[in-house]
Amino acid sequence: MTDTLVTASETSGISQERRIVTAIPGPKSHALTERRLAVVPVGVSSALPVFIERAHGAIVVDVDGNQFIDLGAGIGVMTIGHTDEAVVAAATAQLGEFTHVMFTITPYEGYVRVAELLAQHTPGDFPKKTVLLNSGAEAVENAVKIARKYTGRTGVAVLDHAYHGRTNLTMAMTYKSMPYKLGFGPFASDVHHAPNSYPFRDGLSGADSAARTIAYLEKAVGASDLACLVVEPIQGEGGFVVPAEGYLPALQEWCAANGVVFIADEIQSGMARTGVYFASEHFGIVPDLVLSAKGIAGGLPIAGVTGRAEIMDASHPGGLGGTFAGNPVAAAAAVAVFESIESRGLLAEGARIERLLKPALLALQQKYEVIGDVRGIGAMLAIELVQPGTLEPNPAAVTVITAYAARHGVLLLNAGTWGNVIRFLPSLAISDALLTEALGVLDEALATL
Ligand SMILES: *Cc1c(COP(=O)(O)O)cnc(C)c1O
């Protein structure tokens, strides 16, 4: 095993530096794009048609030898860094032991260990159980199944600007029509979209926005029909929307008073991204169920629904599962991610990144009126771009900036219902020097507007 570990880190051999050596995309990426267009449907689009060959830490290298500073981390998946040695070693070892037996036929320890770690690190000091799945959407689907079975009710409430996935039920739960839903219906029924808290746009206090949400749920839906309310503590695709103070606790209290299962979709905000294991902690909420996926296994597909044992046990035996769910290689990687967060003190890195990035973004806001809002926590920060002096969304500026950044070796992701948000969710392994360099490119890009 030690041999594998050394080999992995030596062959990665990727310097943590930005280096652009061809046009973006380069000739090899162009050639691969030609092949791709012949065999991959246009529905699967890519933000940047640059083919990646290798990655390490906070740097990804394309097939033409260009090195990019990765501020997106595959949408917050590579939280502990690309090709992290501990994750590579754990997954490699498991590959040689067994890769599949199916937990619902014959169980194995890795699945149980991940469930123990999730019980330990999700909010709440009560007995918890976890079902493992393959993707975030599948975790959302299973949380709804469990909440329905537990409550005997069918209604599902979500918030405006939410993103919960691309399967039939989760499309219904997702807010934004283009590109996620348009033409893909009919959608699952009994899903209700309530107003969210979006301080930059609604200017409401937490108490007032909670009252608005609750009024909608009581008047338009009816509390006694609701199985669950699903919230993202910080909305991801919706544009890293941080709710006003007191908003989420008020929703949790209302759910508890009305027998509604309170579910936190922490698929993007969880797993050390915001300087704590789960962002719920920042808001003082203790969800009944917590969903995790993106960051938990260093890029291997695995997801979890973790929650109060009495709720999780509502399903009859055989009601939960899936062929690949809780795959042993992905489970081994997840255990290594948890161990790395502990042994390398990675919870502190979110705060470090925020300390460097947030004041710099606020300084850019002073310099460029197009930046309407700077928000977020830890390594989950964003700027919302507007027509100067208004709330009018400015997606064109985001397109110009992300394209400029890509040509200059920085991968930036957009977000937001209007596509007018740039989100920063780098790996926690990124150095201050790389962050500062990327900020320089962002400054140049803003200056071109
Ligand atoms: C990405 C995401 C999902 C869906 O996860 P998939 O693995 O893509 O199915 C659900 N909820 C949130 C908050 C997400 O960010």
Instruction: Tell me which of 78, 141, 164, 380 to substitute to probe ligand 1's pocket, judged by most ligand atoms within 8 Å of the beta carbon.
Output: 164
For residue 236, the CA-to-ligand 1 centroid distance in Å is 9
Ligand 1 neighbours (beta carbon < 6 A): 135-137, 140, 163-165, 232, 236, 265, 267-268, 293-294
CA distance 357 to 46: 26
* Domains within the chain, CATH numbers bracketed: 2-70+346-448 (3.90.1150.10), 89-343 (3.40.640.10)
Instruction: Tell me which of 78, 175, 267, 421 to substitute to probe ligand 1's pocket, judged by most ligand atoms within 8 Å of the beta carbon.
Output: 267
Place of tokens 């470090």: 352
Instruction: Tell me which of 294, 296, 421, 423 to substitute to probe ligand 1's pocket, judged by most ligand atoms within 8 Å of the beta carbon.
Output: 294
270-292 per-position pLDDT tens digit: 999 999 999 999 999 999 999 99
Residues ≥6 apart with Cβ < 8 Å to 329 = 91, 94, 95, 99, 300
For residue 163, the CA-to-ligand 1 centroid distance in Å is 7
123-172 per-position pLDDT tens digit: 999 999 999 999 999 999 999 999 999 999 999 999 999 999 999 999 99
Nearest CA to ligand 1 atom 11: 164
Please check the confidence at residue 52 and state whether its pLDDT lies above 90.
yes
The packing angle between helices 2-12 and 85-97, to 10°, is 130
Cα-based distances in Å from 59 to 274, 283, 427, 428? 21, 32, 10, 12
φ, ψ at 335 (rounded to 5°):
-60, -40
* Strand intervals (E) in 181-243: 191-194, 226-231
DSSP string, 305-368: EEEEHHHHTTSPTTSS--SSTT-HHHHHHHHHHHHHHHHTTTHHHHHHHHHHHHHHHHHHHHH-
For residue 86, the CA-to-ligand 1 centroid distance in Å is 25
Residues ≥6 apart with Cβ < 8 Å to 330 = 91, 297, 300, 301, 302
Atom of ligand 1 nearest to the CA of 301: 7
Q: Return the H-helix or E-strand segment holding 8.
A: helix 2-12
Q: Return the H-helix or E-strand segment holding 206.
A: helix 206-216
For residue 239, the CA-to-ligand 1 centroid distance in Å is 14
30-49 per-position pLDDT tens digit: 999 999 999 999 999 999 99
Of the candidates 177, 189, 253, the one whose C-alpha atom is nearest the C-alpha of residue 225 is 189
CA distance 10 to 20: 23
Average pLDDT over residues 112-119: 98
For residue 267, the CA-to-ligand 1 centroid distance in Å is 6
329-386 per-position pLDDT tens digit: 999 999 999 999 999 999 999 999 999 999 999 999 999 999 999 999 999 999 999 9
* Strand intervals (E) in 126-266: 128-133, 155-159, 191-194, 226-231, 261-265
Quick one: pLDDT at residue 13?
Answer: 84
228-260 per-position pLDDT tens digit: 999 999 999 999 999 999 999 999 999 999 999
Average pLDDT over residues 435-442: 98
Assign 10 a pLDDT band (cuts: 50, 70, 90). Answer: very low
Please check the confidence at residue 105 and state whether its pLDDT lies above 50.
yes
Task: Please count the other Cβ atoms lying within 10 Å of the Cβ belonging to residue 411.
Answer: 23
Task: Report the share of the chain in percent with pLDDT over 90.
Answer: 97
φ, ψ at 62 (rounded to 5°):
-90, 175
Atom of ligand 1 nearest to the CA of 266: 13
Atom of ligand 1 nearest to the CA of 134: 7
Please check the confidence at residue 5 and state whether its pLDDT lies above 70.
no
Atom of ligand 1 nearest to the CA of 137: 9
168-198 per-position pLDDT tens digit: 999 999 999 999 999 999 999 999 999 999 9
The DSSP letter of residue 20 is -
